[in-house]
Structure 1
Amino acid sequence: MYYPYFRGKQFELITIREMATLMAENNFTPIIEPVREALGGLEKTLKAICSAGGRAIVIVNPHHGDHQEDGANISQLLRDGYSCHESIVAGILLRNDMNVEDVLTCYSSHADHHPVFIHAGFSAPKLLVAELASEMKNIKNVFIEDHAKLLYRKHFVSSDRVLVQDGFNRQRNADYPEIEEFSDLHVTYSDLGMSGFGDFLTVGDSYSESGGPAYAVALHLTFIDPDQDDMMYIYHFVSDTKDTPTDPAGKFGQALDKLIKKLNTKRSKLLETSAIKEFRELHAKGHFPGLGYVKKLSMKHHIETLAAYLG
């Protein structure tokens, strides 16, 4: 049903581990694109998913990070540890630098792991469907919306289809508005002929190795508004200090003050998730846990919000 797309950095993997039980209970399937050379964190995460009775899609040919030239170690991890786990499947990223032969080679080499196609710029859908005509109805196809428009997706209408949309409008932290639309896909995906939907959570599809100095700190928190046809919106609580890379703790405190004030109005429509409770505790203690940890709380809140809505 819900397919959150994660890049496999440290706090993304920690988020998946901490949310593994909730995601399994709600039939959520994380898509993981490993971006770090060391795969210990990924393996630990996959074990947590299996222990919770969940499912995951692991991309074997990442576009970003340390494995973009060669995903052999990821494939080997799946073969060595998860050849008997039908819940852990191989994701094949169909990019604009691949032809049909490339796709078929990758598909056949991962046949034991029930490959899922993730369409992210591939330009020969008609030829691919023709080559796999007898098998296509059994292949799940995940479409990154910005790279796979309606005409492209129509080629795969006989298959199980999932649409992933980037609802996060990335910009400089200092420039975010207080609130903006995030997505309606959780409401409309079935109307689009999809069996599931996904997003890039509150991180977005844009990838960078590091975040750089934080001239401003922003907390990104989603909510679903029942008064607006269940549209999902996102708050951006931005620090007042925006002109220096120093004092991230102080800037976090400023942004957190704004979140707590909004919550205390009782009109924020933010769900009181475990992540929100932790934000309240951090405010009460005056503690700054680091920006990676803050990003993790934002992602956890997003997952919990969708679980409550869809459940």
Structure 2
Amino acid sequence: MTVVYYFPYFRGRQFDLLALKTVAQQRLLPPNIIPIIEPVRDIPALPKTIAAFMDRHQPLAIIANPTVSDYGLTQQKLHDWSPWKADPALIVGHILSPTLVAEDLMAQPGQQTLLVARQYDELVAAKQTGLLTTPTHLLVPPEARIRQLLDRPTIQLFDHAWFPEHDRTYADLPDALFSDDWVAGTGPYSGYSDYGIGGGHYSEHGYPARAVTIHLTYFHGSQLRIHRFVSDDHVDFKHPKEKFFQAIAKLAAWLPTQDAAVQTPAAQQLASYQATQHFPGLGVIKRLSIIHHLQVMANYFKQNYPI
């Protein structure tokens, strides 16, 4: 049976890493769901998260040449991931760049490597030099010209997240299709990758939002959908606690009406804040939403793509 992979792509922010660490500790993921971490900050949560995966022999990918933030430019890292570089469960990945050489993608015995390529022109040049035959996994955008260019299995990388512009809010689209990658089967791909509910855009300091929005993904058949619970108040950037309770009241009313697969422990934890009237902070909300998403994906893959 052909293995179908899912590579959820994360920038290594604090609450992304804490979510992944929890997922590893609870052994939620099957072996064909492999998170990718692109480090962005030199923080203790990075090696602790990697250690949580390696201690349990769960596969994880780390980008060795990150291109966002200044992490890649920091020579002396206080919280390095290199002690696990030779671990068979760690997949060392690279982002395709003009300075990348074949030796960077060579795997040690028993290990795998990964290459992320986002531009057609870069792929053309890399193919001419034979660079694309080396990595175990190749992640590329779902473009027809790229599929025609390549004669090897690839992983589709696409950003499914939607962000409202100008004076719009998520309340304009409270429930929507998030991804239907799996509807037509794998097709020319051996798996899929996306940036999850956080999206592919990276901002070093984030940006304020007028409304508090809680994002929960769920499957309807083979379609992955997303439901957004948005605070009624979105006039200004003040009062996040009060806005949170407006949003969580909607989640607490919606969740019991859903299938058991949607009512994950992380989603139930979120809903419990309505009863206790406890505001855990927006970072915790993000962490629980990520854990929920990964649990939903794990359940789907265990049922449809078991290995």
TM-score, structure 1 length as denominator? 0.84
Query: 1 or 2 for the larger relative contact order (CA 8 Å, sep ≥6)?
Result: 2
CA distance in 2: counterparts of 1:185 and 1:41, whole angstroms: 31
The gaps in structure 1 that reach 5 residues or longer are: none
Q: 1:249 to 1:39 in 2, by over 3 A?
A: closer
CA contact (8 A) 2:21 2:53 kept: yes
| Counterpart amino acid of residue 53 in structure 2 | I
CA distance in 2: counterparts of 1:60 and 1:181, whole angstroms: 33
Task: Give the SS at the match of 2:294.
Answer: helix
- What's 1:136 paired with? 133
Aligned pairs for 1:172-187 (under 5 A) are 175-176=169-170, 177-187=173-183
Task: Give the SS at the match of 2:126.
Answer: helix
- What's 1:166 paired with? 159
1:11 to 9, 15, 20: 15
CA contact (8 A) 1:224 1:269 kept: no
Q: 1:253 to 1:26 in 2, by over 3 A?
A: farther
- What's 2:63 paired with? 59
- What's 2:289 paired with? 298
Superposed CA offset, 1:81-140 (max 9, x none): 12430221221112xxx33xx121xx424635643110123623233223227x716531
1:237 to 229, 237, 242: 229
Aligned residues: 290
Task: Give the SS at the match of 1:186.
Answer: coil
- What's 1:202 paired with? 197
Q: 1:109 to 1:168 in 2, by over 3 A?
A: closer
Q: 1:117 to 1:60 in 2, by over 3 A?
A: same
CA distance in 2: counterparts of 1:189 and 1:298, whole angstroms: 26
CA distance in 2: counterparts of 1:268 and 1:258, whole angstroms: 17
- What's 2:122 paired with? 124
CA distance in 2: counterparts of 1:60 and 1:73, whole angstroms: 15
CA contact (8 A) 1:24 1:55 kept: no
CA contact (8 A) 2:252 2:272 kept: no
- What's 1:278 paired with? 269
- What's 2:143 paired with? 149
Superposed CA offset, 1:32-75 (max 9, x none): 11011x2422111110011121111111111211225x26567x
CA contact (8 A) 1:8 1:32 kept: yes
- What's 1:27 paired with? 32
- What's 1:309 paired with? 300
- What's 1:92 paired with? 94
Alpha-carbon deviation of 1:157?
2.5
1:261 to 250, 253, 256: 253
Task: Give the SS at the match of 1:221.
Answer: strand
CA contact (8 A) 1:262 1:268 kept: no
The answer to whether structure 1 residue 252 and structure 2 residue 244 are counterparts is yes
CA distance in 1: counterparts of 2:201 and 2:226, whole angstroms: 17
CA distance in 1: counterparts of 2:276 and 2:267, whole angstroms: 14
The gaps in structure 2 that reach 5 residues or longer are: 303-307
- What's 2:214 paired with? 219
Task: Give the SS at the match of 2:228.
Answer: strand
* Two-structure CA RMSD over aligned residues (Å): 2.5
Q: 1:209 to 1:126 in 2, by over 3 A?
A: closer
**Identity percentage over the alignment?**
27
Question: If each structure's helix is expressed as a fraction of its own residues, which one has the higher value?
Answer: 1
